[in-house]
Structure formats: C-alpha cells, structure tokens
Amino acid sequence: MVAKKKSNWCIVLCFILPFLILYTLFTIWPVLFGVNVSFHKWGLMGKTGFVGLANYEKLVRDKFFWQAAGHTFIFVGLSVPFLVMIPFFLAVLANRPGSLRKFLRVSYYLPNILSVSVVSYIAVYIASPYMGFLNQFLHMTGILAKDAEPMWLSDTKLAWVTITAATVWWTAGFPFLLYLSVLQDIPEQLYEAARLDGAGSARMLFSITMPIARSTSLLVIFLEIIASFKVFGQIYLITGGGPGTATRPIIQYIYTTAFQKNNLGYASAMSYALFIILILFTLGQMKIQSGKELYE
C-alpha cells in the first residue's frame, strides 16, 4: 500500500502542478511577501530601505487613513441593511407561480452581471444635475420643485445616497438568489396549514418565511459586510472619492498611496489593516456556513 501511494505522487504532481504554481505565486505568496513590503520603504522602482514598523506607526497617526476607514464604515453601515432586507423582499416577490417567476428572477438579478464601470457611469448619467434622468423625472412627476436641482454627485450626503443606491441596484441580485433558493424549498403544505388556521399573508410572512430565512440572513449580513469593506470601484468612478476626499474609502486611499504617491510600503501596511478586518469577518461567515451544513 505504501509503495502504491508513493508511486502515485508523480501522477498527482502532473495533475496539480499548474494549479499549485499559479495559486502559490498569485494567491499565497503575495500575502507573505506583502509583510516584507510593509516593513520597507518601497517605491514603484523597488525597495529603497528597511523601516521596520515605521509604516504601521504612520498608519496609527495618519488622519487620512482613519478618515478613509471612517468612510468605509459609513458605507458598510449604509449599504448592508439595504442589501440584507431588499433582497429578501425581492425573493418573496419573485417566489411566485406562473410565467412571471422567470421574468422577475432575471430582472432582479440582471444588474449583477454588469461591470462596475458600466454601473457607475449609468449612475453618474442618471444622477447628473440638469442633464440626468433622475432630476428630470422628479421634476416631471412634481416630486421636486421646478427650481430645485439636487447635486446627487457633489453634495457629500447626496453622493452617499447615489453610491448606496447604485450599489444596491448592482449587487442585490446575489443575496436575492441566496434567499430565493431557500424560499423555494419551503413546502407549500406549511402555507396551506397556516391558511387553514386563518393566517393572512402578512402573518405567514412573519411566522413562516422570515424564521426560515433567518440563517440565510445571517450569512448575507456577513457576506455583505465583507463585500462592502472592499468597496472601491463604484465610489472611485461615481465621486472619485470626493468632493475632496469626503467619500474616499480605504482601498482608494491604498491605491492612491501606492500608485500615485509611489509609496508601496505604506500601502501594504494599510492593506494589512484591511486584511485583518476582512479575515475576521470571513472566519465568522465560514463558522455560520459550517453550522448551516451541520444543521442540514
């Protein structure tokens, strides 16, 4: 048996070698190598000197880092509740009989397949004052007074609204499908029984659908927290992190520091701060999932 196992290794290696190399080089090695970078002064041309923990000390005192961290938390706080609740209601709406079912599922998920650039530029053109669809629509329907022209992109508070709305529109499809797959598995007899007991649709929603979807909600909360911490594209493209740096998230600050300010060492140190936050939430998410699998 031992001999057989050992002779297998040659074949095994042939199968796994391409994956092993690519995975090690581009997924695992950057994680370890990044630690090394963060201990150095490192420019786009390469390493220029060892600085020990100086980059981490700088991070603690850097008000722009904390500002960017604050914006990231704001974004998490704004987007996660919507991305947990709206997809649930979308799933309730789409989990219905007949020909509508597919149309609804496709419509709700469709924005999810667009690239962040397309989503951002559609959002920008919709939200631009004077030229955009949104203000025109609001004027036409009389929701907005004729002379009012909200600055959806350049007023900080409204910019957050635009960013959050674009993100929800773009990414609600993923948690929506997660919820939908759970709701589809709820046996129809459960609703039948409730109906015989005189329960209305609201009652059934609160007493049957919601409790069953609870463990999925928890999973969605974690997945969306992780996704929102990684926000970059839509903010970078919709507001450019502005006005000024008023909406700039961590990844954009890392990007600017590394590639515009030529400080890859400090950018790596900041990446590690983000890395640690994300790992903690990812481990939490995995714990929920393993619990779920045991339960099933």
Of the candidates 113, 89, 116, 101, the residue with the CA atom closest to the CA atom of residue 176: 89
Q: Is 31 a residue that touches other proteins (CB under 8 A)?
A: yes
Token pair of 103 as six digits: 């149309």
Q: Using the rule CB under 8 A, is 117 a contact of other proteins?
A: yes
Q: Is 156 in the site for other proteins (CB under 8 A)?
A: no
Q: Any contact of residue 137 with other proteins (CB under 8 A)?
A: yes
Site string for other proteins, 221-260 (x = CB under 8 A): -----x---x-xx---x-------------x--xx--xx-
Q: Which is nearer to other proteins, 66 or 275 (CB)?
A: 275
Q: Does 207 bind other proteins (CB under 8 A)?
A: no
Query: DSSP for 104-120?
Result: HHHHHHGGGGS-HHHHH
Min separation Cβ 93 and other proteins, Å: 4
Out of 61, 188, 202, 295, point to the residue binding other proteins (CB under 8 A): 188
Task: Give the side-chain half-sphere CA count within 13 A for 13.
Answer: 6
The answer to whether 277 touches 229, Cβ cutoff 8 Å, is yes
Query: Vertex 142, ends 139 and 147: CA angle to 5°?
Result: 50
CB of 6 to other proteins, least distance (A): 7
> 42 forms bridges with which residues in the sheet?
47
Rounded to the nearest angstrom, the gap between the alpha carbon of residue 265 and the centroid of all alpha carbons in its chain is 26
Q: How many residues bind other proteins (CB under 8 A)?
A: 102
Q: Which is nearer to other proteins, 32 or 60 (CB)?
A: 32
Could you say which of 56, 73, 82, 191 contacts other proteins (CB under 8 A)? 191
* Binds other proteins (CB under 8 A): choice among 192, 207, 244, 261: 192
Which residues lie below 8 Å from residue 52, measured CB to CB, with a gap of 6+? 39
Residue 144 has which token pair?
């907005």
Q: Is 215 in the site for other proteins (CB under 8 A)?
A: no
